[in-house]
Amino acid sequence: MPSPVIDLRSDTVTKPSAAMRRAMHDAEVGDDVYREDPTVNRLQDRAAEIFGCEAGLYVVSGTMGNQTAIKVLTRHGQEVICEERCHIYNFEMAMVAVFSGVLPRTIRAADGILTWPMIAPYIRARNDHRARTGLIELENTSNLAGGSVYPLEIANDIVDRAHAAGLPVHLDGARIFNASVALGRSVAELTKKFDSVMFCLSKGLGAPVGSLLVGSKEFIEEARIVRKMLGGGMRQAGVLAAAGFVALEEGPPRLHIDHANAKFLAQGLAEIPGIKVDPSKVASNILFFDVSGTGLAAQEISKRLAARGVLANASDPQTIRMVTHLDVDRRGCERALRVLREVVT
């Protein structure tokens, strides 16, 4: 029998568990645009409770959640300060410009972690020449900076000082539960100062579809309107939310396994000739490694891996990304390392 494919391209590839499928089958539903879907309501209430917020809103995707929040919190012609490698700037189809009419003011930060001293010089108040700052956006964990985690004091300091300057702060917390596991602190503690938080059910938590926005009642009421503008007013969405509920309860307690597997992969990769990676930098479930010492292009290695049943994407000509998740176990990681060694030597 051929061994199953080891898919390390992303934690979005997970398939719904038997428990999720049962919950979907049994879900009570109603029209959610009328706020009458009991399963969606239960998911939103539970998310708000976990994050210590007043309200939650179920959205189709993380992109919809982020873009909804940015629309609510900004006005056309303003700037949004964000890290250069962040998702809202690189992977959301220029929607900050298309939909909210705002200009990303990007800052490059080591490991994707901004600090207030980096941000402060870019904050602009009313001025006759330059666009005004409207919002600061942070990403935790960072995706393209290698799954790095914001130290709580640094994030809190940014939000406190932003608020003192009259600016809201949105958190792209697609993987905030990974940050929570890495830091040993609750998501409520990590996010309590932010004006809005988006997190994904469909990544490490394992749901097939969906993300949530959480925040104040007032923010969520505005976000409902923007979600509808984006075509995100779903009807009997409880069949999806039911799987999300299972993900929210059962996903977080097992994320430490993904982190240990990512560390294991990094340590194994570091021993392969021609591959450069610093295992001490692997803080969650994402790792990037440099393959330039192998004499092969990252794309070529990715192709050779795929032919042997291991999937991992090149992120640039020298770099490959791997992401661990609930559908890849330790044995899968061992096999991925074996195959990679064969492919490059």
Ligand X SMILES: *Cc1c(COP(=O)(O)O)cnc(C)c1O
Q: How far is the CB of 126 from ligand X (least distance, A)?
A: 31
How is residue 276 annotated by DSSP?
Answer: B
User: Which of residues 112 and 268 has its CB atom nearest to ligand X in the complex?
Assistant: 112
Binding segment (CB under 6 A) for ligand X, from list 37-45, 56-64, 100-108, 179-187: 56-64
Q: How far is the CB of 4 from ligand X (least distance, A)?
A: 24
Tell how strand 310-311 and strand 6-7 pair up. parallel
Alpha helices in the chain (DSSP H): 18-26, 38-51, 62-73, 87-90, 95-98, 116-119, 152-164, 176-183, 187-191, 217-229, 238-250, 255-270, 298-307, 330-344
Binding segment (CB under 6 A) for ligand X, from list 55-63, 226-234, 291-299, 305-313: 55-63
Q: How far is the CB of 87 from ligand X (least distance, A)?
A: 3
Give burial (CB, 10 Å; 0-12/13-18/19+) of 343. Answer: buried
Report if residue 62 touches ligand X, rule: CB under 6 A: yes
Footprint of ligand X on 140-199 (CB under 6 A): 143, 172, 174
Residue whose Cβ sits closest to ligand X: 62
Closest-CA residue to 316 (of 297, 337, 303)? 297
Quick one: which of 39, 78, 180, 211 contacts ligand X (CB under 6 A)?
A: 211
Q: How far is the CB of 63 from ligand X (least distance, A)?
A: 3
Binding segment (CB under 6 A) for ligand X, from list 59-67, 154-162, 219-227, 255-263: 59-67
Closest-CA residue to 262 (of 323, 306, 345)? 323
Report if residue 139 touches ligand X, rule: CB under 6 A: yes
Q: Which residues bind ligand X (CB under 6 A)?
A: 61-63, 66, 87, 139, 143, 172, 174, 200, 202, 211
